[in-house]
Amino acid sequence: MTSKDAAIRFMTPDDVAVVAAIEKSATPFPWTESIFRGCLKVGFVCRVVELHKAVIGFAILSHGAGEGHILNLGVKPEYQRRGFGRRLLRALIDDARRLDLATLFLEVRVSNARAIALYNDEGFNEIGVRQGYYPAHSGREDALVFARELTPQE
């Protein structure tokens, strides 16, 4: 199955437990259910991708002052590398345009080569490094900071 078989929709509170479980399966330092619930509560753009009515991925976008920040994006490990993450990312980019945001930002672990390749491929540019930004099994890991300028006609 490919990402073309999937549907992207807004996250609801009923999705939070599944989303948190996906996060736990996909990353060594996962967000908690309460963090996801907080994102919904404050009005962040929260999306899920469904395959045959089962949630298999999610993405979170905060926004304000004409800028957006992709806070989190994850796909169940068994569905990675099939285009679901790209579909979620593109959905957030479309949401950002609808919100008239000029720029999108995100951070990514320096060790996450697949995500870095995706962001480069989707028009994001590395603009900096945050030293020791992420927890790691042995200390802290740096984050690359990426940005993408948005234009309405894209």
Choice among 23, 79, 119, 141 that is catalytic: 119
Angle, to 10 degrees, between the axis of helix 84-98 and the axis of helix 113-121?
A: 50
Judged on CB neighbours under 10 Å (0-12, 13-18, 19+), 118 is: middle
**122 is an active site residue:** no
φ, ψ (nearest 5 deg) of residue 19: -60, -45
* Three-state DSSP state, 83: coil
Report the alpha-carbon distance of residue 39 to residue 141 in Å, rounded.
24
Quick check: is 107 catalytic? yes
Cα(49)–Cα(88) distance, integer angstroms: 7
**Of 33, 67, 107, 122, which residue is the catalytic one?**
107
The residues carrying an active-site annotation are 107, 119
